[in-house]
Amino acid sequence: MKILLSTLFISLSLSACTTSESTTVTSPALDSPRNIIMVVGDGMGPAYTTAYRYFNDNPETNAIEETVFDRHLVGMASTYPARVSGYVTDSAAAATALATGVKSYNGAIGMDVDKKPVESVLEWAKKQGKKTGVVVTSQINHATPASYLAHNESRRNYNEIADTYIDEGIKADLYLGGGWQYYIREDRNLVNEFKSAGFHYLDDFQSLDKLPQQKPVLGLFAKVGLPWALDDKDKLRLSTMTKAATKQLESNQGYFLLVEASQVDWAGHSNDIASAMAEMTDLAKTMEYLEHYVKNNPDTLVVLTADHSTGGFTIAANGKYEWKPDVLRTMKSSPEKVAKHLVDMDITVKSTSDLLNFAVTPAEVNLLQHAKTQGAKEVIDFKKLDKNAQQQMKKKPSIKNSIYVAVKKLIDQRTNSGWTSGGHTAIDVPVFAFGKRSELFHGNIDNTDVAKKIFTLLGKK
C-alpha cells in the first residue's frame, strides 16, 4: 500500500511539474543558445589553472603549450557571500549565487538570507520546456548540485536534500555522480522511487554508452563521492559522464546541464597537489570535449567558473623561484591510496618508489617511517583517553592519515608547492566562456551575474 501511495505521489508531482512548465514558458532572449552548459570547477582559483598549464607542458619543447583554459579565459568573478557571512564564501552560498543570482549566507542551499527559497536557472529552464541534468564527481546532493535542484537552510542536511529531489518534484532528466549512502537508506529507497517515476538506473560507468534514449536517467557510481581521478578505473570520469549527458539530453527544445569538477576543491582542502592536477586534467579533457561539441552544435553556450578558491595554493614556495611538476606527471595513484598501502607494508626505498612511481631518497623514506611510527603512537594515546576527551578531539588519529600528511609533504617539497589554508580563500576566480552569446560573460563580474545573464538568455526578465 505504501509503495502504491508513493508511486501515486510521484506521478502527481510529475504531473504538477508538467502543468507548471506548460504555463510558464516565456520567450527567450533574441538569438539565445538552445543549449546551456554551466561548468563549475569547485575550489578552482587562478593558481590551479596556471599550475595545470605548467603540469600539462611538454618539457621537450621550448614553448609552454596553451591549454583549453587559456583559450577561453574571458574575465574574473568576485565570490563574496551575503554580508552576514563576511568576505569568504563556502560552496553552498557560492553555488546559490551562481544558480540563482542571489547572495546568501554560508551553508544556504537555494535560499536567501531570510531562508526563503529562490529559483535557480535549472528550475527556470525546466519550466521553459528544456531538458535538464547534473553531472558531478561528488554526491549528487552535495552543495553545488543541490543549490541548482533544492532549497534547504543547511547544506549538511544531506538526507533531507536527497528527499526533496523526489518530494518537491523531479526537476532534472539526468543525474550522474555519487551518493548511494543517501539514496539507498534503511528508512527510504529513493532509487526505487526514481525507478517508479520512470527513470533508468545504473551504477557502473560501463553502462553509460547503453543508455535508453528518451528516458530520464539516474546514475550513482559511489557511496558518497567518486574515487580520486588518480584512483578511478576511468581517470577521465567527468569527461565520460559529460559525453553521455550531452548525448542523452539532446532535444528540439534544448537543455540546461550543470557539470561540476567537485574534487578540485577536495584536493585543495587536503593540500594535495597530485590529486588536484589529476582532477584538473579530467576537467581540461571535459572542456576539450565541449569545445568539439560546440563546433558541431554552435547553438550551445558553455560557461566555466569556480565557486571560490581552496587551500591558498601557491606555485612556488619557501622563497624559491621554481615549481617542478615532473613527479606529478608520473604518479598513477593518489597520495591517499599510497598512504593506505604503506600502513600494511614495510616502508622502503623500493616499496615507496613503486607506489609513487618515481624514485625516492633514503631521507624521504625516513620521513615516511617517522610518520608511521608517530601515527601509531597517537592512536595508542587516543585509546587511553576517556570518551569525553576523545570526543573533544577534532579528528581521530590514524596511521594512514599520518602517512598521508607525510606523503603530501614529500610531494610538496619535490614540486615546491605551497599552501596557506585547509579551507577557502576570498580571491576572485577566473571565468571562461565559449559558444553562442559567450560575449555576455566577458569582463570583471560578480558570481551572481553568471545566473542573471543565464536567466536573461532563458527569457526571464
Separation of alpha carbons 207 and 197, rounded Å:
20
Q: What share of the chain is helix, strand, coil (3-state, %, to 5)?
A: 50, 15, 35
Q: Where are the alpha helices (DSSP H) in 24-120?
A: 46-56, 68-72, 91-100
Strand partners, 184: 189
Helices 273-296 and 237-249 sit at what angle, rounded to 10 degrees? Answer: 30
- Residue partners of 457: CB distance under 8 A and separation at least 6: 28, 29, 32, 33, 36, 301, 437, 440
Q: What are phi and psi of 143, to 5 degrees?
A: -55, -50
Separation of alpha carbons 87 and 45, rounded Å:
16
3-state secondary structure at position 445:
strand
Q: Tell me which residue has cell 585509546.
A: 383
Q: Is 27 an active-site residue? A: no
Separation of alpha carbons 81 and 104, rounded Å:
6
Separation of alpha carbons 248 and 380, rounded Å:
53
Separation of alpha carbons 108 and 112, rounded Å:
7
Angle at 299 between CA 148 and CA 165, to 5 degrees: 20
Separation of alpha carbons 368 and 374, rounded Å:
10
Catalytic pick among 13, 20, 22, 91:
91
Is 326 within 8 Å of 54 (Cβ atoms)? no
Long-range contacts of 373-378 (CB under 8 A, 24+ apart): 374/402, 375/399, 375/400, 375/401, 375/402, 375/403, 378/402
Within a 10 A sphere around the Cβ of 346, how many other Cβ atoms? 10
Active site residues: 91
